[in-house]
Structure 1
Amino acid sequence: MNAARRAPARDGAPTDTAPTVAFDFAHRLLALSAWVRRQRWLQGLYRLFPQRARDGVSSILAYRASRRARFVRTPAWSRPIPPLAAAAAAAPVVGGGAGVNILGYLRGQFGLAESARMYARALIGAGYPVALFDVSIAIPHGVDDRSVDAHIGEGTPHPTSIVFVNPDYLQPALEHIGAERLRGKRLIACWFWELQDIPHDWLESIELVDEIMVASEFVKEAFERVTDKPVFRVPLPLSPVPDSGLQRSDFGLPEDAFVFLCSFDFNSWVDRKNPFAVIEAFRRAFPDGGDNVRLMVKTSNAHRHPDKFLRLLTASAQDPRIVVRDEVIDRAHVCALQRCADVYVSLHRAEGFGLGLAECMAMGKPIIGTAWSGNLDFMDADNSCLVGYRLVPVGEGEYPHPQGAHWAEADVDEAAAHMRKLAGSPQFARELGARAKRDIEQRLSPALAASLLAQRLDAPAAAMRGAHAGGAQP
């Protein structure tokens, strides 16, 4: 099964042919489970089993397949990872100020949690007073990021709090934080959303906060359609991230191939991330089966979504040059994997921001991405390979969407053409990556984000409400 198969050994790098048979067996069991659920004549018998038992069997099978899709550990994986602080030093550009409490999943290993840490690091690096409180409620994500532990405490001493918890979890999060920590504070929610329309059941949560902070114009416009409360944008600040130093051989990638990278978390809705379009574009771009290109599909939490995982494995199995790896790995290893790739590809149907795209652009990597939603805050025709699209209805079960919601369906043939051009034109790829790096350094700098956010935090809440009513935006 190619999702577990590693490229032939180079320079003494180990191979992982041993687990292939076991992985293929787990994959076959997953396929059998899905096949049973599709057979009408078996559905009656299948339903006799409790739903919890059915889900448990699927999860166990998916977990086994996911374990077989992990990266094979070379000795380099055991090297100490450099601390984040060593790569995140910044000269103070703000200093002083009223201060802010940042409340969120500060140890979470997913996008919203990383966003909270990014804003916190930008403010700390700028010398702005910050207190961090970890919201440790039960969520279906890894919670083993310890990079800001030195700043986490139990107090909320500052007059304003920003909570990084989306509306569907806001009420339990506020209960966890406690009324005493929230009393008398100006409460700002930092929220991400991926569609033009905000779900109706989020409206109650809007009433619990004073203001809404977003990272992109796309999300800002969505919230402004449903509330008169102040909505303001502060771009995500991209600080340098430590690189673990892993090389292509440590990720099972050949040194001489042109590597495309696609990555996503299964918890972030597979149909929204749309890796199947990336796989199809890759196959159309290089139909001759040449061995000088690779597509790495890096995922996490596949075992929580067995049917979607099976669909991904089945799609990737059609081409041995496509490698699936599913695992939550340290942020420094993610950085190393991004460095090892030649091009990052995202044919998403919708993005609230597009962190993976921005991170790779900051490294000087050429990017292929859908020309729609939050990523257009930092992607344009000069610094990226934008892919055209048509708006289509969001399908049932594809995403928690309001009735009538639409999102983008990327043009796969156009994406394939971009892949061919980048793989065949190294000079063009380098120049595109250089422009991307330059623009990200300007548009998503920690100093810019810290300055904008500090100005907002230090302005009286009443002034912000008046500015919003008059149409002014920071």
Structure 2
Amino acid sequence: MLGLRHLPLKYRLPLIHGGLGVLARLKSGGWTKADDVTLRRGDFIVSGFFTETTGIAQGGRLSAQGLKAAGYDIVEHDLRPAFKKLFSKNLFHGMPLPGRGGVWYIHANAPEVLVALLAHDPKSWANRYRIAYWAWETPKAPADWVFAADYLHEIWVPSLFVRDALAATFNAALRADLISRLRVMPHPVPVPPSVRHDSARQRFDLSDTICEVLSLFDTKSSAARKNPWGVLDAWCQAFPQSSDTARLTLKVSDLSGDPATAQRLLAITADRYDIRLMSERLSERDMEAFTGAFDVLISLHRSEGFGLSLAEAMAAGVAVIATGWSGNVDFMTTENARLVSSTLIPVDDSEGGYAHLRRDPAQVWADPNLAEAASDIRDLTYSPALRQRFAHNAVQAIRALHVPWQREALVELPFNTGL
């Protein structure tokens, strides 16, 4: 198993997920499907990757915060030990899940849900109401996710786009009965106090005399999907020569594992003093301050299940330019952001985690209009008033994401029968 780490992502993920599916089917004889559960009232366990810095980890923290803010007494449970258990010699002696009965909420996608089910003693979760929080970034979710869905009473998703992606997969598997388990629950992104981050601008070497623009890129999230090349091309169309009125910061989470991408980015930015590449690792709190210190955030993504970084920037009062397709359009409109038009093209991620989707004609994503994006960059650079209007409206849109997480909404949901 350790050797898998050295395989390209396009080979590694199918092998890991395929292996999990086989193992889960071997062990599932002792598992209780959601339809067969006799609920026992008890504790509210929320499982996630609470100490990590990935998007799914941040989503788990937001879910936990949202539930606590609504008055639920939850027990936070770290999922990472389940992965260590999976590769141990004692896999077939499952760990006990904290508490007894109640609700088990797992903020992780289907493959990680299988790890959680495999690693924990099925007797310790047999009588619990089970919810998982899933996200996906293309019009059809993976077919092998259907198996995990049978063991869940509900599947919460961050957007209508993800809901439709899962519904398409359930329909294709002739399991339309599972669609009723889907519930759209957008991430309850917090809105920080409305203050200008002067100290953060100084710390991160941002100027008050130019428009500072940010683009975020995680090498683990597929360069093809995040499309930093589109942002760079649009920037160079907006400013054919290095600009003295605007600067683009491309924040990359980790380039160490992707030398080809690093080399390509360095080559593009080498001759432009208005483009800088930043790969410093930041804590969650520092990242919030960093994002909020910019004037504009731009994302020319090909697809987003939700667009958490976009929502977080909007919550901080940052004007946003983004591709007007996929999960982010649930909370982004022409009143609170610049939405870049696009055409749909076949998914092409030859070296990444979506490589296997090229064989399915239903799997498409966006090709954003770079000339339009360049015009948007210039408009926001030269109009502080436009940036301010978008920022004001954006904050209101993010506040609306909290409505499904308010106490009066949550208490009406069926999971409360387990508490």
TM-score normalized by the length of structure 1: 0.70
Deviations 1:375-422 (A, max 9, x none): 011001111100000101111334425322110011111111011001
| Match 1:424 to one of 351, 368, 382 | 382
Question: Quick one: which amino acid aligns to residue 108 of structure 1?
Answer: E
Query: Compared with structure 1, are the counterparts of its residues 114 and 446 closer, same or farther at alpha carbon in structure 2 (3 Å cutoff)?
Result: farther
Is residue 123 from structure 1 mapped to residue 81 from structure 2 by the alignment? Answer: no
Q: Pairwise CA RMSD of aligned residues?
A: 2.9
1:236-278, Cα deviation, whole Å (9 max, x unpaired): 1012469998422321333322111011221111111111111
SS of residue matched to 2:412: helix
Label 1:450 to 1:233 Cα distance change in 2 as closer, same or farther (>3 A).
farther
Structure 1 equivalent of residue 45 of structure 2:
101
Kept in 2, the 8 Å contact 1:135–1:176? The answer is no
- Other structure's SS at 1:304 match: coil
Question: For the structure 1 residues 265 and 455, does the alpha-carbon distance in structure 2 shift closer, same or farther, using more than 3 Å as the test?
Answer: farther
Task: Quote the residue 2:225 is aligned against.
Answer: 272
Q: CA deviation at 1:332?
A: 1.4
Equivalent residues of 1:159, 1:185 under 8 A apart:
yes
Q: What is residue 162 of structure 1 aligned with on the other side?
A: 105
Contact 1:346 1:369 in 2 (8 A): yes
Aligned mate of 2:189, from 216, 231, 238:
238
- Cα 1:383–1:51 change in 2 (3 A) is closer
Q: Give the equivalent residue in structure 2 for 1:204.
A: 147
Decide whether aligned partners of structure 1 residues 53 and 330 sit closer, same or farther in structure 2, where only a CA change above 3 A counts: closer
Residue segments in structure 1 that go unaligned for 5+ positions in a row: 1-49, 56-96, 140-152, 462-474
Which residue of 372, 387, 397 maps to 2:351? 397
Q: 1:428 offset after TM fit, Å?
A: 1.4
Q: CA deviation at 1:177?
A: 3.8
1:68-467 → structure 2 map (5 Å cutoff): 100-137=44-81, 155-157=98-100, 159-227=102-170, 228-229=177-178, 230-240=181-191, 246-395=199-348, 396-400=350-354, 401-402=356-357, 403-404=360-361, 405-441=363-399, 443-445=400-402, 448-458=405-415
Cα displacement string for residues 258-304 of structure 1 (whole angstroms, at most 9, x for unaligned residues): 11101122111111111111111111112232322110111112212
Contact 2:104 2:130 in 1 (8 A): yes
> What is the Cα deviation at residue 187 of structure 1?
1.5
Q: Secondary structure at the match of 1:277?
A: helix
The residue identity in structure 2 corresponding to 1:105 is F
Q: What's the CA shift for 1:105?
A: 1.0
CA distance in structure 2 between the aligned counterparts of 1:53 and 1:121, rounded to whole angstroms: 36
Matches of 1:231 and 1:137, distance apart in 2: 28
For residues 63-119 of structure 1, the C-alpha deviation after alignment (integer angstroms, 9 at most, x for no partner) is: xxxxxxxxxxxxxxxxxxxxxxxxxxxxxxxxxx97632111121211111111111
Deviations 1:196-252 (A, max 9, x none): 011223333223323211010100111112232211111210124699984223213
Once the two structures are superposed, residues 134-173 of structure 1 have per-residue CA deviations (whole angstroms, 9 ceiling, x without a partner) of 101488xxxxxxxxxxxxx972345221111212333223
Q: Deviations over 1:37-81 (max 9, x none)?
A: xxxxxxxxxxxxx999999xxxxxxxxxxxxxxxxxxxxxxxxxx
Structure 1 distance, partners of 2:251, 2:414, is 37
Specify the SS of the correspondent of 2:52: coil
Whole-Å separation in 2 of the counterparts to 1:446 and 1:54: 43
Deviates most, 364-373 or 222-231 = 222-231
Contact conserved, 2:67 with 2:405, CA < 8 A, in 1?
Answer: no
Partner amino acid, structure 1, of 2:389: E
SS at match of 1:392: strand
Number of equivalent positions: 358
Gaps of 5+ in 2: 9-40, 84-95, 171-176
- Structure 1 residue matching 2:288: 3-state secondary structure: helix
Q: CA deviation at 1:353?
A: 0.4
- Aligned-partner residue type, residue 415 of structure 1: A
Shift of 1:338: 1.4
Q: Quick one: percent identity of the two aligned structures?
A: 31
